[in-house]
Amino acid sequence: MAFKGLDYYDLDELLSEEDRMVRDMTRDWVSDAVMPIIDEAYENAVFPRHLVPQIGELGLLGANLPEEYGCAGMGPTAYGIICQELERGDSGLRSFVSVQGSLVMWPIFAYGSEEQKRRWLPEMAKGNKIGCFGLTEPDHGSDPGGMITNAKKDGADWILNGAKMWITNGTIADVAVVWAQTEDGIQGFLVEAGTPGFTAPEQKRKYSLRASVTSELVFDDVRVPDSARFPNVKGLKGPLGCLSQARYGIAWGAIGAAMACYDEALQYTLGREQFGKPLAGFQLIQAKLAEMVTEITKAQLICWRLAKLKEAGKIRPQHVSLAKRNNVAMALDIARVARDMLGANGITAEYQCMRHMCNLESVYTYEGTHSIHTLILGQDVTGIAAFE
Ligand code: TGC
Ligand code: FAD
């Protein structure tokens, strides 16, 4: 049966014609190109790389960046809806698009030189070049400000040393955005694959995001020219600014995963009979479905309003934290409950909810853990930082 999505409050009415078209196009593509292959890709722990040119062709990479750099020039709502629809397929696919668009193309656009923009953005929009974003280190995850990776000036060049960990797309990336300590504070560098001293071994044996590549990045006296440095940002606000873009997409994306699980639980319980009637006819099952509908609708309203704040230039990072924190936790809860509602079938690759559930464990942790977003909100409302 074709996936319909959940729109209990007729939010469709609030979308523009263009947003609806983007939604339908992405939804249809996910149904046709992703759903038939994703369970096998997940089981085999393979990123379905053959989809990348198609994603580029659809205009989904850096979709909210300007047309003058070969991007689709879409608004915040359309960008969010793209993330939602992709994550209905798999969080790994949405991760690929988030990293490429929000964590690599966006900083090139916002912090890069004109030369960096012209060189990378059009090729990345087409999917001809892939990027990754190296912030997290083995000993510095939630506190990236403590990073050890450093860049030292050597004549006209920079020499990078250190290591990053848990980097989405790392092994398959043509270029890495790397954040490093310098004499002048934290700065960002574009390090190309194949640069001597730079390696990106894949991290294997994951139980989550199996259809996504996760890697270490190792820098052993890696020499890059000054033209590889972002000229327009210094300090931790550089990488954190990128995270605000990506977290926005994740807040939307989580709704997609939740809708997939809700839809699966609804169809399954309507079709399966126990004690002489469909499971969906029992009050306890209906309570779970009612809870799912309510929570998804609340998450949709949060994202809709967040998009309006972004459009109006009134969005604050803390607004994004609230949405990422709420929506990912909501999706994870729904995936777990859906898994239960499918009984034993719920643990198999014949169904989606366990795959979504395992993926969402990563989404709960990356881009700021649930607890870190709790602390960001706590600081915002009290004025007191409780990180340390
Ligand atoms: P703090 O003193 O609060 O801030 C330093 C400067 O940054 C500014 N700032 C932000 N700017 C833009 N967006 C944000 N979200 C920002 N948050 C803070 C801030 O105003 C300040 O600016 P200025 O001008 O005063 O210098 O920094 P802190 O060291 O106290 O850290 C605060 C904390 C803990 C909230 C921050 O470090 C944090 O968010 N930690 C979580 C780390 C994280 O999220 N890592 C994600 C890595 S990337 C990833 O996971 C990709 S997954 C990809 C995928 O597959 O989809
Ligand atoms: P830690 O920071 O060690 O946290 C461990 C636990 O302690 C968490 O529960 C956390 O909430 C809690 N904690 C930490 N500090 C506090 C505190 N002050 N108060 C209370 N509790 C606290 N990073 C990138 O840079 N680029 C990527 O592309 C990328 N992709 C990823 C892909 C995957 C699949 C995963 C799993 C991670 C990825 N990450 C990436 C890394 C991710 O951002 C980090 O894992 C995350 O920021 C948390 O850091 P950590 O794992 O070191 O956990």
- Give the end-to-end CA distance of the chain in Å, rounded to a whole number: 50
Answer whether 144 contacts ligand 1 (Cβ < 6 A): yes
**pLDDT by residue (tens digit) across 279-289?**
999 999 999 99
pLDDT surpassing 90 at residue 4: no
Instruction: Give the model's pLDDT for residue 107.
Output: 98
Answer whether 351 contacts ligand 2 (Cβ < 6 A): no
Q: What is the mean pLDDT of the chain?
A: 98
Domain 11-130 falls in which CATH fold?
A: Butyryl-Coa Dehydrogenase, subunit A; domain 1 (1.10.540)
Rounded to the nearest angstrom, the distance between the alpha carbon of 209 and the centre of ligand 2 is: 15
Question: Does residue 278 sit in helix, strand or coil?
Answer: strand
Task: Assign 2 a pLDDT band (cuts: 50, 70, 90).
Answer: confident
Query: Which atom of ligand 2 has the smallest separation from the CA of 134?
Result: 25
- Residues taking part in catalysis: 367
Answer whether 225 contacts ligand 1 (Cβ < 6 A): no
**pLDDT by residue (tens digit) across 105-150?**
999 999 999 999 999 999 999 999 999 999 999 999 999 999 999 9
For residues 253 and 348, the answer to whether their CB atoms sit within 8 Å is no
Residues above pLDDT 70, as percent of the chain: 100
Sign of the alpha-carbon torsion through 187, 109, 107, 129: negative
**Range 225-229 contact pairs with CB under 8 angstroms and sequence separation of 24 or more:** 225/156, 225/157, 225/158, 226/156, 226/157, 226/158, 227/113, 227/115, 227/116, 228/158, 228/189, 228/190, 228/191, 228/192, 229/151, 229/158, 229/187, 229/188, 229/189, 229/190
Rounded to the nearest angstrom, the distance between the alpha carbon of 366 and the centre of ligand 2 is: 6
Answer whether 110 contacts ligand 1 (Cβ < 6 A): no
Query: Which atom of ligand 1 has the smallest separation from the CA of 376?
Result: 35
**pLDDT by residue (tens digit) across 48-102?**
999 999 999 999 999 999 999 999 999 999 999 999 999 999 999 999 999 999 9
Task: Assign 263 a pLDDT band (cuts: 50, 70, 90).
Answer: very high
Closest ligand by atom to 360 CA: 2
Answer whether 374 contacts ligand 1 (Cβ < 6 A): no
Answer whether 369 contacts ligand 2 (Cβ < 6 A): yes
CA pair distance 378, 387, nearest whole angstrom: 10
Domain 238-381 falls in which CATH fold?
A: Butyryl-CoA Dehydrogenase, subunit A; domain 3 (1.20.140)
**CATH number belonging to the domain at 132-228, selected among 1.10.579.10, 3.40.50.300, 2.40.110.10, 2.60.120.560:** 2.40.110.10
Instruction: Give strand pairing partners of 153.
Output: 158
In the structure encoding, which two tokens stand for residue 231, read together? 């000229």
CA pair distance 356, 233, nearest whole angstrom: 36
Answer whether 150 contacts ligand 2 (Cβ < 6 A): no
Query: Which atom of ligand 2 has the smallest separation from the CA of 168?
Result: 28
Closest ligand by atom to 149 CA: 2
Query: Which atom of ligand 2 has the smallest separation from the CA of 206?
Result: 34
For residues 108 and 225, the answer to whether their CB atoms sit within 8 Å is no
Residue range(s) of every CATH 1.10.540.10 domain in the chain: 11-130
Q: Mutual orientation of helices 283-311 and 317-341 as an angle, nearest 10°? A: 160
Residue range(s) of every CATH 1.20.140.10 domain in the chain: 238-381
**Range 214-217 contact pairs with CB under 8 angstroms and sequence separation of 24 or more:** 214/166, 214/167, 214/168, 214/170, 215/132, 215/167, 215/168, 215/169, 215/170, 215/171, 216/163, 216/164, 216/165, 216/167, 216/170, 217/132, 217/134, 217/163, 217/164, 217/165, 217/167, 217/170, 217/176, 217/178
CA pair distance 144, 178, nearest whole angstrom: 12
Angle at 96 between CA 331 and CA 60, to 5 degrees: 95
Residue range(s) of every CATH 2.40.110.10 domain in the chain: 132-228
CA pair distance 72, 92, nearest whole angstrom: 22
Whose alpha carbon is nearest atom 49 of ligand 1? 367
Whose alpha carbon is nearest atom 40 of ligand 1? 142
pLDDT surpassing 90 at residue 219: yes
Rounded to the nearest angstrom, the distance between the alpha carbon of 43 and the centre of ligand 1 is: 33
In the structure encoding, which two tokens stand for residue 338, read together? 């859906």
CA pair distance 268, 336, nearest whole angstrom: 15
CA pair distance 34, 78, nearest whole angstrom: 20
Whose alpha carbon is nearest atom 36 of ligand 1? 143
CA pair distance 212, 92, nearest whole angstrom: 5
